[in-house]
Structure 1
Amino acid sequence: MIDLPSDVEAARLLERLGVSSRDRDETLAARPDPQEHPELWRSLERCYRDLTSHLGAALPADGYRALPAFPAEAGPVALHLYVWLYLAVLPRTLRYHAERGIDPRTSWETLSTLGPVMAEHRSVHGLGGVGGFDQWCPPLKFRGTEYKLGRLEYDRGHGERPDGMTGYVLHLHIPSGTPLSPDSCDESFDLARTFFERHFPEEPVSHFACHSWLLDPQLAEYLSERSNIVRFLRRFTLKPRTSGDADRADGDLLEYLFSKPSRQEPVTESRLAVLPQETSLQRAYVAHLRSGRNWRARTGWMPYRTAR
């Protein structure tokens, strides 16, 4: 049984989760109701059961499936449905954190990334909510799998190691925001080692792992070796590409760099022609695609104990 918070409590929690006043008001106006929105309510119940049944679980080696996006025309209740899902799960998330001895400051720093996700949704889609995005990171945060520690975020989980075996790894996620400076990354890696060894000692980690367009070595063709991005990707040993890899990331960069919807691939010349060219990364994006090539998301590893 899902117990949604009252409007007063929801508004308080949304503020704690970093949600702007405009997004708070639109969320309250889009409250789902089992009688008025029976199909959406059934979807909410399914998602709630899935999230709570995996509470505290590390990611399996074969990953997990994101909660699917809604089309924009589905309306505001659908686009805010996952926000209400997270509000419903939140009390159980906080109890789980407390049982693990995780301090409230880290809990709220992790969970309050919901506000920036909603802001990004409005920037990309021109609409409130989060439902225009596939839900990858937020469900992991609310089930106790992902944590924000300084500049970077980390998923607990099983994964492939460089030797081809499977073991515990920390999967990195790089949120947008402040620069990806070497010092901020070093600080975050140190925080991660301390945090996970203290709160999850039964999960011996061997490597940091990352799958991202930020590890595309083609970036070094356009950016300085002293750039934050190139210095970040040089930390990792890349997994060799195979002919069957589905790693094209043109849409991911389009969304990240230009706040444009990423589902409309391929990126045509007419779309490239109207993109701003204000930063070296924006210029690299356009020049690379115009040369007939594509951007790639690559997988890389970094030893857990020799990150610097």
Structure 2
Amino acid sequence: MPHPDADLTRARLLDAATDDGLDRLGIHAPDRPAVAGWLRAVADDPADLAVVARLRAEVLLPAIGAWDAHADGPGFDAALERHPLGAGVLPLCALAATGEDVLAHQAGHGLASEIGVRTLNDLGQQVMKHRHVYGEPGLHNQGWLRTVWSGDFLWLGRLQFEPRLSDLGIAGGPARRVLSVHIPQTGPLTPASVDAAFAAASATYSAHLPHLAPEAFICDSWLLDPLLTDLVPDTNLARFAERWTPWECGPGDWAAAYFVFDVNPPGRAAADPETLPTDNTLRRRLVEHWRAGGHVRVCQGVADTRP
């Protein structure tokens, strides 16, 4: 039986398959033929279309504007990770069919369309990441993109910002409104670009989403490991690490391997350093560190920069 929103979903998929639609989703040139083909094929397959319409209605739409509760809602079923057309095709199509709903939510808060479109561009980033890791276009980070699609998550300049509540590492402390900082893989992480992104986040949330105006910036990343100041001193990465005061750290070898080397060992196991390239300074220093028995940590911390 067709889903009640099947016709709307089909129209959205066909629109997303156009050049303008692919631009809106940030699909990179090497991935555009495959992604456009998937969108059109699913639009013309009644069974797949029904699944995509259901995912839009049950998984994505309820999460828009629900920044404090979207993690509690239904996510993408693991069975959707595989499809004859490619990895993660149906979640990708559901995300594409819901982009206009995300933009409408943001427009309702007076946010410029450029901000919304930039935020949706993370779909293209994740398709590219899948290609870098697995050698072909696809999607394996659909759960992450459900967070991006929550409507109150914004990509501003060099950084991305996710509204959250945090006790800032103080056990039993009050829950504070914060922005969790994410670092897309889009180029140098210069101090000036980070300063500008923090300033843009403070101004944008205060003006358009005042109920989410942050009391602090937090981050949960291997880029907060103080090791970086010794591993690659006097670099953008070291200066970024120095901005934060960590309150907790845990194992992070997998994260460094995934983001620096584009490898994803099963079960988030540590990568074998003997198999990793050493074609730039960061890669070489990490491989040397691992060969010597060292480890990288993922740290949670609060920024010294205050909103």
- State the distance in 2 between where 1:43 and 1:250 align: 35
The alignment status of 1:147 with 2:147, answered yes or no, reads: no
Please report the RMSD computed on the Cα atoms of aligned residues, expressed in angstroms. Answer: 2.9
Shift in CA distance, 120/240, structure 1 to aligned 2, threshold 3 Å: closer
Shift in CA distance, 66/221, structure 1 to aligned 2, threshold 3 Å: farther
State which of 250, 255, 259 in structure 2 corresponds to 1:252. Answer: 255
Task: Kindly provide the CA deviation profile for residues 158-216 of structure 1, in whole angstroms up to 9, marking residues without a partner as x.
Answer: 22224432111000000112211111100111111110000111234211010000011
- State the distance in 1 between where 2:239 and 2:180 align: 19
TM-aligned CA deviation for residue 123 of structure 1: 1.4
Equivalent residues of 2:58, 2:74 under 8 A apart: no
The alignment status of 1:127 with 2:136, answered yes or no, reads: yes
TM-aligned CA deviation for residue 135 of structure 1: 2.7
- State the distance in 2 between where 1:72 and 1:251 align: 21
Select the structure that is richer in helix: 2
- State the distance in 1 between where 2:153 and 2:265 align: 24
User: Relative contact order (C-alpha < 8 Å, sep 6+): which is higher?
Assistant: 1
- State the distance in 1 between where 2:54 and 2:75 align: 16
- State the distance in 2 between where 1:102 and 1:259 align: 34
Instruction: Report the 3-state secondary structure (helix = DSSP H, G, I; strand = E; otherwise coil) of the residue aligned with 2:64.
Output: coil
| Partner amino acid, structure 2, of 1:154 | F
**Partner residue of 1:95?**
104
Shift in CA distance, 84/100, structure 1 to aligned 2, threshold 3 Å: same
Q: TM-score, normalised by structure 1?
A: 0.84
> Structure 1, unaligned stretches of length 5 or more?
242-246
Task: Kindly provide the CA deviation profile for residues 215-265 of structure 1, in whole angstroms up to 9, marking residues without a partner as x.
Answer: 1112223111x2111111111111144xxxxx3222222121122224354
Aligned pairs (5 A) from 1:38-117 = 41-42=50-51, 45-46=54-55, 48-59=57-68, 67=76, 74-117=83-126
> Structure 2, unaligned stretches of length 5 or more?
none
Task: Kindly provide the CA deviation profile for residues 5-25 of structure 1, in whole angstroms up to 9, marking residues without a partner as x.
Answer: 446412231232221355333
Equivalent residues of 1:251, 1:263 under 8 A apart: no
Shift in CA distance, 21/240, structure 1 to aligned 2, threshold 3 Å: closer
Aligned pairs (5 A) from 1:204-219 = 204-219=213-228
The alignment status of 1:4 with 2:9, answered yes or no, reads: yes
TM-aligned CA deviation for residue 29 of structure 1: 3.0
Question: Identity of paired residues, percent?
Answer: 26
Equivalent residues of 2:224, 2:241 under 8 A apart: yes
- State the distance in 1 between where 2:70 and 2:239 align: 28
**Partner residue of 2:31?**
23
Q: TM-score, normalised by structure 2?
A: 0.84
